[in-house]
């Protein structure tokens, strides 16, 4: 089993162990060269085996392994839109899923930047319209939104988070879930979100060119 397959197994089990998914919900994907490894359909993340993943080509055609999750097209669309991303995590984590059910969300960023780590790892969180699970009609909306942010929230469903690797995507997913929990805990109270100045200061600084 390759290291990448072992990482998928480790992260899948970690997601389930931390209560970020339930039952047989949630799925993961990673790039492996010209292929995409995806968790199979009907398998709890607690039981995912790195040796038994679905293999897709870059267009989402099933090449090898068990049948992929019916939401594999979400992963393919995001990876197509974000060449720098190499991994996707999709869960139905409780607080993020609850957030996806609220009316009057800011479609361009569903959560206020309540913490520095949310600002660094997640924001902006774009909200997509509702599509039934497995409905490939969502492909265009997901791909278009993914060109603008690595963090998406599917209405009445849950988050889809991209990262340079699975651990980065999981870090962002956990930060989103934590911030959503803070959001609900402080509901009805006055909060002090970070300002645009605070957020800008959190971004990696680009080294300046040496002066002539």
Instruction: Give the model's pLDDT for residue 1.
Output: 52
Q: Are 153 and 128 in contact (CB under 8 A)?
A: yes
pTM of the entire structure?
A: 0.90
Which alpha helices (H) appear in the chain, and where do they start and end?
Answer: 3-17, 72-81, 94-100, 116-121, 139-146, 166-185, 196-202
SS3 call for 162: strand
Cα dist. 2→5, 50, 83, 104, 196 in Å?
A: 5, 8, 22, 45, 42
Q: Is 71 a catalytic residue?
A: yes
Query: Does the pLDDT at position 145 exceed 90?
Result: yes
pLDDT, residue 188, reads 87
Annotated catalytic residue, options 9, 71, 175, 177: 71
In the Cβ-directed half-sphere of 136, how many Cα atoms lie within 13 Å?
Answer: 6
Position 208 pLDDT exceeds 50: no
Residue 212 has pLDDT above 50, yes or no: no
Instruction: Judge whether residue 209 has pLDDT over 50.
Output: no
The answer to whether residue 117 is catalytic is yes
Task: Tell me what percent of the residues of the chain surpass a pLDDT of 90.
Answer: 85
Q: Express each pLDDT in 149-159 by its tens digit.
A: 999 999 999 99
pLDDT band at 37 (very low <50, low <70, confident <90, very high): very high
Q: How many CA atoms lie within 13 A of 91 on its CB side?
A: 30
What share of the chain has pLDDT > 70, as a percent? 94
Q: Which residue among the candidates 9, 59, 108, 117 is catalytic per the annotation?
A: 117
Length of the chain (residues): 212
Q: Where are the domains of the chain?
A: 3-201
Report whether 100 contacts 126 (CB < 8 A). Answer: no
- Mean pLDDT, the chain, rounded, equals 92
- Separation of alpha carbons 79 and 36, rounded Å: 9
- Per-residue pLDDT averaged across 9-31, rounded? 96
What are the pLDDT digits (tens) for 175-200?
999 999 999 999 888 887 776 887 78
Q: What is the pLDDT of residues 78-109, one digit of tens each?
A: 999 999 999 999 999 999 999 999 999 999 99
Give per-residue pLDDT as tens, 43-81.
999 999 999 999 999 999 999 999 999 999 999 999 999
The answer to whether residues 184 and 98 touch, using CB atoms and an 8 Å cutoff, is yes
Question: In the CATH hierarchy, which top-level class contains the domain 3-201?
Answer: alpha beta
Three-state secondary-structure class, residue 159: strand
CA distances from 19 to 7, 148, 152, 156, 167 (A): 18, 29, 20, 19, 16
Cα–Cα distance for residue pair 21/124, rounded to 1 Å: 22
Residue 147 has pLDDT above 80, yes or no: yes
Statement: residue 25 has pLDDT above 50: yes
């Amino acid at each position: 089993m390759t290291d990448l397959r072992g990482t998928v197994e480790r992260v899948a089990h970690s997601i389930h162990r931390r209560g970020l998914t339930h039952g047989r919900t949630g799925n993961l994907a990673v790039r492996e060269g010209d292929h995409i490894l995806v968790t199979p359909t009907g398998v709890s993340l607690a039981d995912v085996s790195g040796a038994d993943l679905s293999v897709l080509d870059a267009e989402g055609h099933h090449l090898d392994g068990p049948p992929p999750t019916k939401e594999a097209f979400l992963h393919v669309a995001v990876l197509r839109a974000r060449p720098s991303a190499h991994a996707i995590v999709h869960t139905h984590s409780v607080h993020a899923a609850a957030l996806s059910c609220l009316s009057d969300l800011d479609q361009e960023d569903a959560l206020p930047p309540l913490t520095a780590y949310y600002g660094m790892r997640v924001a902006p969180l774009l909200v997509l319209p509702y599509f039934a699970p497995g409905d490939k009609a969502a492909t265009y909306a997901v791909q278009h939104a993914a060109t603008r942010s690595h963090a998406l929230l599917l209405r009445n469903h849950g988050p889809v988070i991209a990262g340079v690797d699975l651990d980065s995507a999981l870090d962002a997913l956990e930060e989103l879930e934590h911030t959503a929990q803070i959001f609900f805990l402080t509901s009805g109270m006055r909060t002090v979100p970070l300002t645009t100045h605070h957020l800008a200061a959190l971004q990696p600084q680009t080294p300046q060119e040496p002066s002539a």
